[in-house]
Amino acid sequence: MLVIKEVFAAGYRSLRHIRFPVEPLSVFVGANGTGKTNLYRSLQLLQSAAAGTLAHDLAAEGGFDSVFWAGTRNPKEPVRVKLGVRLSGEGAGGYNLEYAVETGLVKSAGGVIWGAGFLLEPQIKAETLVYEAPRRSKKLLDRQGPHGHCLDEEGLKRPLGGEILPSETALNSLQDAAAFPDLHLARRTMLEWRFFHDFRTDARSSLRQPCLAVTSPTLASDGSNLAAVFATLAHIRQDTVDLDQAFDDAFPGARLVIPEPDRFASFGVVFPDYPKRIFQPSELSDGTLHFLALAGALLSYRLPPFIALNEPEASLHPDLLEPLARMIVSASRRTQVWLVTHSEPLAEAITRNSGVSPRRVIKRKGETWIDGLRLSGDFAEEEDEDA
C-alpha cells in the first residue's frame, strides 16, 4: 500500500498556497482559528476525489463562496481550489504517484462554459496523476477541462471521452483496474484512509448500541462497528493484550468485558467500585465512551494505511491524555498517523513517548502556515540535520 509523502493545497479557506511533507507520525498543534482543521479537511477532500464526491462535498460546505480563499487575490485569476497528494511506493520498487485536482465554477475566467452544470456547481477543471521513478516519470492522467487522456497498462493514450461529467473525477470514473492499475492503486489507497473526528456520544449514538456481529478488522469513521471491532480482537484474533493494557492505563482497576457475540456484538465495563456489575455502553460517561472509540480506531486488528485524528482530546479528562498519547504512538508504528490538536499537554505527551516534536500551525496575514516550513515545501531543520 502507498504512504503519504507530501500534501498540497491552494485556494481552500485559509490555505492560500501550502505544500508540506507528511511523516509516519505528524502532529500539528495550534490555537483555535489558525486553520488546523482546514489542513485536516484538505485530506478529506482528496479522499472525496477518489470517491467521486468532491463536487458534492464542496457544495455541502457552502460552495465556493464559503470554501475559496477569502484573502487578497488577483481579480483576473479564476476562482480555483487546488488539492494534491504525493503517495510513495518505496516498499514496492521505489516510486511516487502524485495526484492533483483543481476545481472551479462552471464558467472559466474568460466566460467560456466547459460543460453542462448548474451555475454555482463546483466542477473539475484539471486533474493529473503523475508516476515518478528515479530514472523516469510519466503522466498517467492528464485532464484539462472537458478534454484529456490517460495511459493504459500498455502505455497507450486513451481519451477520456464525453462520458465523464464535469462534476465527476476521472480518478473515480476510470474503474478498470486491469487497464489502469496505478489509478486503481491510488484510488484504493485514498479510499482506505480513515478520518476520526467528534464521535457522537449522545443517547442515540451508535457507540452505545450493539452492532451486527460481523468480523470487523477496522473501525468505521463514525465508530458504528465499535463492538464488532472489540469482538474481532477478542474472539477472532484472540489477542486483547494491547487493548486491555490501554484500558487499564486509562482506567486503573477497571476491566473491559467483551462477550462472545451471537447475532449482535456488545461490550461492557466493570469498575473496581462495583466488581459484580457490568456497565453497558448506554451507562458510560461521554469521556469513557470517547476514549473507547479512540482505542477501537488505534488498536484495531488491521489499521488503515492512514489515520487522521482531529482534536481527539475533546471531552476527555486531562488524566486520559497520557494514555491517549501512548495509543497514538503505538498506532504510528503500524501505520501513518496524522493529528491536529490545540492541546499542548497532548502534544507534549506524544513527544515524551515518541520523540516526535509537533509542528506548530500559525496564521500570518490571514494565511494558515506551519512554523519552520519553507516555500520549497520542506522544514528548515531538515537541512540542518543533513549538514
Amino acid 382: pLDDT: 56
Q: Which residues contact 317 (CB under 8 A, 6 or more apart)?
A: 287
Q: Which residues contact 63 (CB under 8 A, 6 or more apart)?
A: 120, 122
Q: Identify whether the C-beta of residue 104 lies closer than 8 Å to the C-beta of residue 80.
A: yes
C-alpha cell read off for 299? 488498536
Within 10 Å of residue 107's Cβ, how many Cβ atoms? 15
> Which domains can be identified in the chain, with CATH numbers?
3-24+35-193+362-386 (no CATH), 195-356 (3.40.50.300)
The pLDDT tens digits along the chain (387 residues) read 799 999 999 999 999 999 999 999 999 999 999 999 999 999 999 999 999 999 999 999 988 888 999 788 777 788 899 999 999 986 556 899 999 999 998 765 455 555 566 777 889 999 999 999 887 899 999 999 888 999 998 889 999 877 788 899 999 999 899 999 999 999 999 999 999 998 999 999 999 999 999 999 999 999 999 999 999 999 999 999 999 999 999 999 999 999 999 999 999 999 999 999 999 999 999 999 999 999 999 999 999 999 999 999 998 999 999 999 999 999 999 999 999 999 999 999 999 999 999 999 999 989 999 999 998 888 986 555 554
User: Read out DSSP for 20-82?
Assistant: EE--SEEEEE--TTSSHHHHHHHHHHHHHHHHT-HHHHHHHTT-HHHHB--S---TTS--EEE
- What does pTM read for this prediction? 0.91
Count each helix (H run) and each strand (E run) in the chain, helices first.
11, 18
Within 10 Å of residue 334's Cβ, how many Cβ atoms? 14
Question: Judging by beta carbons within 10 Å of its beta carbon (0-12, 13-18, 19+), is residue 162 exposed, middle or buried?
Answer: exposed
Amino acid 93: pLDDT: 61
Tell me the C-alpha distance between 362 and 29, whole Å: 9
